[in-house]
Structure formats: C-alpha cells, structure tokens
A and B are shown apart, each in its own frame.
Chain A
Amino acid sequence: MQVFIAQILNGLSIGSVYVLLVTGFNLLLLVAMIIHFSYPQVVVFSMYIIWLVLKMTNNNLLLGILAGVSSAVLFNFISAPLFQKIMKNREEVDINATMVLSMAIGWIITDVLSHAFNNGLPIQFPEEITGSRPLFRIGLISILPGQVWALSIGIIVVSGFFILLYKTKAGRAFRAIAEDPAGARLVGIPLVKTGFQSYALSGVLGGLTAVLLAMLFHSASPGLGEQVSHKVLAVSIVAGLGNLTGGLVVGLALGILEALVQGYISGNWSNAIAFVVMLIVIMVKPKGLFGMKV
C-alpha cells in the first residue's frame, strides 16, 4: 500500500507538470487562438532566464521570478503576431500551419539554449528556489516542496483562469477578440489594449510555470521542452482543445497513469502505453473527454 500511495503521489507530481503546461497551452488558444505546440520550449527558455538572473544577482529570488515572467511575456509579444498573421492568411485556426510555426520556434529556442547558455550543459537551480529537503517522508513516501507548490498552484491557476475567462467581463473580451476580432471591435472592445493584456496574461502564466518547474525539476536542459511537448499536445487534445478543467483532470490522470506503468509494468513501455490509452480515448471521443472550448 505504501508503494501504491508513493506512486500515486509521484503521478500527481508528473501530472502537475502537464497541468501547468497544458493550462498555458490552452490559455494561448483561448485568448489568442494560438496552438503553440512548442509552448513547453518557451517555458524552458524562461527557466534559463531565471537561472541566468539568479546567477547574476547572487540568487535574488524576486528578480529571478520577475525576469522569468518578463521573458515569457516578451516572448509572447514577439511570437503571437506571427501566429496571428498565419491564421489571418488561412482565415481559420489551422493546427497544421500553427504547429509548423510553433515547431520552428521550438527549434530556434532549443538551439539557442544549447549554444548560448552554460556551454549547452544542463543548468542547476540553487537550493533557495528548489528546497531540496522533503517536507515529510514516511518510508518510500516523500514529498518535496516543489511538488506541493506545482500541484497546488496548478489547481489554483486553472481555477483562477477559468473564473477570469468565463465569469468576468475582461475574460469574455479576451475570448471575443480571439474568436472574432471584427465582431469584438463592433461591440466596442479595444482591440489593441485587450490583445496586449491577453498576451501579457498568458506570458505571466508561462513565467510562473517556469518558476514552478525549476522548483520541481531542480535543473533544466535545452531538450527539456521537446521531451514533454508531444504529451502536452496529446493531453490538450484528449481533454478537449481549450478546456481548462479537462486539461487539469487529464494532465493529472496521465501523470498517474505514467507513474503506475513505470512503477508496476515497465519504464520503457510507459510512453507507448500512455499514447495508446490516449489514442483510444481520441478514437472514442474525437472532441476530447471534456469537449472543445474553441
């Protein structure tokens, strides 16, 4: 039983990574109609910025977090217009074209990180940010501070964004601009201002996710984003594109599934099994378990 509990907690820990990344992915979709396949790479880029600032400022945590968030916001401001130009060209949300664009952005980020930071070697975050000692440990059950932060903030963030997007005027404005800019303009929504706010919002989440992943992983490498990007895409599709609640549930479920497969069946087969399960779900429910929100 102890092992089972430990594996469930491990699963929640992996799942919280997916939840954070999928929430950012979905948020971009909801507020800017961007399908950002390489969103995890953008988050990893922010992790590197945090590391750099921490190093330069002798581990000033506040400045590190601010730098991470700012870099993610800035990245959004630079990349979002590209996505929108493509969508304007195609006159629709086109998963293929945006996926290719996103893939190209992912290549650039990964390559720049491996060229320009730490000689391409993995970076290590200081204990001030990671908290290396477990909060508690009973036998094999161990919980690290990063795991608690990642999961709890993941849930809070999903709830917060859900309320913001669906229960507030500002949220409706974000979605209106994303879905129909011309219509939004007609009803008096300031396009530029709201557009900037939406990019900033999703950027803030990207930066926060970078901080949380730094706490959870304690390190990062240029290839980290690529390692999880397929699963993030799969989770968002299985949950239903743009469905925040679905992303939360499916992200955690995938984490638990992976932990149980690795813990009881086979490490090598964990990816294959996870994808087969997701594939079956997609076959049965093509619009996702929780339905699309776009």
Chain B
Amino acid sequence: MKKLVIATLLVLMAVSFGFGQTNVVVSEWRVPFLNSLTGSIAAIGEFLQWGANYAADEINAAGGIAGKPVKVVPVDTALDPQKGSVEMARVVKDSLVAMGPVPEPVIMAAMPIAVENQMVSITATTSYEYASQFFPWTVSWFPPTLDRLPPLVVAWAKQFGDMKQVVQFIEPYGPWPGMADAHSKALKSLNIKEQKAIEVPTDAVTFGPLVVRALDQNPDGVILVCNAEKAAKIIKELKSRGWSKMNHILVFSSADDAQLYSTGGMDLNGVQVYNYLNLDISNPRWDKFKAEFAKAHNGNMPFSLSPNYYDALYMIKEAIEKTGVTGDPKKLKEERKKIADYIANVKGFKGLLFDWDMKDGVPTNKPTYIFEIQNGKKQLVLEVKQ
C-alpha cells in the first residue's frame, strides 16, 4: 500500500512537472521593471532594483519559474512622466506582466496605459489610494491608509500617559497629507488634542522657523510626515531647542529610509518610527537577504522598501506557476487576466518577512511595527495588529 501511494505520488509529480514543462513556450520569462534609476530618487531606485534582481538570481538558482529562467529588465523612467509613459507603452506591447512604476508622478502617467491594455504592473511602493485607482491591473502593497495608520498611532500614543497635545509636521507630497489625516483620526479617538499642523515646504533647507512655531504650541508629542532628510533635520532642530522626550517623536513609514539615519545620526536616539519592515525577524531567506544587502550597500541593513520588489517577483512567479500561464504570445490577453485574478486574491503568500493574503488587491494581514531608534539601529517596541 505504501509503495502504491509513493508510486502514485511520483507519477502525479512527474505528470504535473511535465505538464508545466511542455506548456511553457518562452525560453526565458522577461519581467520589465519600470524604475527611477536616475534623477533625484536614484538611490531608492537602486535598492528597489537590487531587491528584484536578487530575487531573480535566487529563483533562477532554484530552477526558475515553471522551469524557465526569469530576467528582470530594468526600464529607467528617470522620475519623468514623459519618459515613463512611452516606456510603459513599449512594455505593454508584448509583456505578460511588469513591475513598477516608481514613484507617484510616473505611476499616474504610466499606469493608465497598463490598465487600458489590461496588463498587471505591480506598484509595490505606493499607497493604497494610488494603487486602488488602477485595480485590478495592480495590487496594493498596503491596506487603505485610513485603516492601517490609526492603530499604529494609537499604539504609539498609548505608551505614554502624559500625551495630551500633538503636533504634526506635514510636507505636501502625494499621499502624505492623507496619511497625516489618518494620524489625526487616531489622535481624535484618544481625545488627544491635535495642534495646528506645521506645513513643511518641499524645498525647505532650514527648519528653525517651523520648529519654533511648533514648540510655541507646547506639544507633548510630534509626528513627522515629511521626507527622511527633512524629518532628520527637524529632529535635530527640535533637540537643539530643548526637546528631550525623544520617544514622543514618531516618524512615519515613508521617512524610514537611509537618508533619515545618514542625516540624523545619533540625534535620532530614542525617536520612534512605524513601518512594515522588521529587521529583527529571523528566517533563512530574510537573513540571507539582509547579509547580501549589507554586502552590496556598504554594510547598511535593508531600507524601508527594499524587499518590496523581491516579494513582487516571487508573487509573479507564484501566479505564473499556479495558473499554468505559458507565456504564449497568442494567449497574452487571457494569461494577463489570469495573473491579475490570481494576485488580487492570493492566499498565504510567502513573503520575505511574513506570509500574507490579498483580498481584492488589498493585503489583509500584514503586521506593522513600532520601533525605537538607538545608535542608528531600530529596536522593536511593539507589533501592531490591524
């Protein structure tokens, strides 16, 4: 009986393997990645690309996608909507699936082209509010802002009994004012008074006037909703003006990247930050990723969005393998649809840090964390369930 079961299993495996092998018509899966490799966010583009390339190497070493190697094709959009649109128009011609674009201005110029041509392009760095405009031809890497952020801010504020008034520094870029609104919702729910928000000009180079204005309102807590470099400089300025309750400063996730640490240095000690990325998690894949990332980036640990396109490529792999997509150009439309349907409701996806599910393009169970920065490193304070 035991032998029969084993034989049956072997036959089934052979059949399914053979099925996958014979159906795939491409010799290589080519996945274009529309990324900002030049321009002002080239540094971020580089590590996003690194993550995707690393995933491709790993996948190929393990036998590829349905037995065929995968190649991530970098497509530089240079943070330029003009270039982004024409590049996406080229990509949609014959690609099965793509990744990117990055960031929001290029997403807005290029994603309507993917939607019109019914091709999935996974925008794994933008907020739900942008991604949802292009469903089902992309998925959101994050739940809706108004759902995911309030619990984090509530958890942060509840650590301290003395927090009665909070001020937010808000930079007017893309989804950030919306994220600040979500913070406000949390503060309101705790009956914490939100003071007049401090608007941070996009081209600000010094922050004295803004910080004095904020401190004049006598806040007990500060939430920073601005880019990493500005957040670090505001923290330095707050400190130089006598702010000492460092853990009463909360930095939002979009500012949790390398620039925060390289600019803020030791002045960040004690500051809290919320994010999805938890460096303390340990599993073989993630540990290896961290080590390789550090090797390639002067010893730096992975930054906030580093694993996103690593996971995106694995999600594409899973979609291709699970749906039996062949890469046949004649079935392009049909197979694109299969991929869209699959990733919109993927269950138990094995991400680099944790497993998660998607429901209609929105992740349902991604954990989020609050960390405290000490000596340039993040230490976990608490995990927050959505």
Which residues of A pack against B, CB within 8 Å? Answer: 3, 6-7, 9-11, 13-14, 17, 111, 114-115, 118-124, 132-134, 137, 139-140, 142, 144, 216-219, 221-224, 227-228, 258-260, 262-264, 266-271
Determine whether the beta carbon of B172 is less than 8 Å from that of A17.
no
Chain A residues within an 8 Å CB radius of B290: none
16 contacts between A and B (CB under 8 A): A3-B213, A17-B205, A111-B38, A119-B43, A124-B262, A137-B241, A140-B215, A218-B233, A219-B233, A219-B262, A221-B259, A263-B209, A267-B204, A268-B199, A271-B201, A271-B203
Q: What separation, in Å, do the CA atoms of A262 and B289 have in the docked complex?
A: 43
Q: Are B206 and A221 in contact (CB under 8 A)?
A: no
With CB as the reference atom, state the residue of chain A lying closest to B233.
Answer: A219
Instruction: Assess the A258–B209 pair: CB atoms within 8 A.
Output: yes
User: Could you tell me if A221 and B201 are in contact, using CB atoms closer than 8 angstroms?
Assistant: no
Q: B46–A219 contact, CB under 8 A? A: no
Q: Indicate whether A124 sits within 8 Å of B263 (C-beta atoms), given known contacts A119-B46, A218-B236, A268-B172.
A: yes
- Kindly state the separation between the CA atoms of A17 and B204 in the bound complex, as whole angstroms: 12
Q: Pick from B38, B236, B242, B262: contact of A118, CB below 8 A.
A: B262
Mark contacts of B43-67 with chain A using CB atoms, 8 A cut-off: 1 yes-contact digit, 0 otherwise: 1001000000000000000000000
Question: Are the CB atoms of B213 and A120 closer together than 8 Å?
Answer: no
Q: Pick the residue among B43, B205, B208 that contacts A120 (CB under 8 A).
A: B43
B258 within 8 A of A: yes
Main secondary structure of the interface of A (DSSP, over half): helix
Known: A122-B259, A124-B262, A262-B201. A11 touches B241 (CB 8 A): no
Given contacts A120-B43, A219-B233, contact A263 B263 (CB under 8 A): no
Q: Which residues does chain A contribute within 8 Å of B208, judged by CB atoms?
A: 6-7, 9-10, 13-14, 259
Instruction: Pick from B43, B242, B267 the residue with the most CB of A within 10 Å.
Output: B43
Does A140 lie within 8 Å of B203, measured CB to CB? no
Least Cβ distance of B232 to chain A in Å?
8
Interface centre among A17, A132, A222, A262 (most CB of B within 10 A): A262
Q: How far is A274 from B43 in the complex, measured between Cα atoms in Å?
A: 32
| B298 on interface, CB distance cutoff 8 Å | yes
The reply to whether B212 and A6 contact each other, CB–CB distance below 8 Å, is: yes
Of all chain B residues, which has the CB nearest A231? Answer: B203
Name the B residues within 8 Å of A133 (CB-CB): 240
B242 close to A119 (CB less than 8 A): no
Query: Does B380 have its Cβ within 8 Å of any Cβ on chain A?
Result: no
CB-contact partner of A262 in B203, B213, B216, under 8 A: B213
- Give min CB distance, B333 to chain A, whole Å: 39
CB distance from A85 to the nearest CB of B (A): 29
Is A10 in contact with B212, judged by CB distance below 8 angstroms? yes
Indicate with 1 or 0, residue by residue over B351-385, a CB within 8 angstroms of chain A CB atoms.
00000000000000000000000000000000000
Task: Establish whether residues A134 and B213, one from each chain, have CB atoms under 8 Å apart when the complex forms.
Answer: no
A132 to B213, CA, bound (A): 21
Is residue B329 within 8 Å, beta carbon to beta carbon, of the partner chain? no
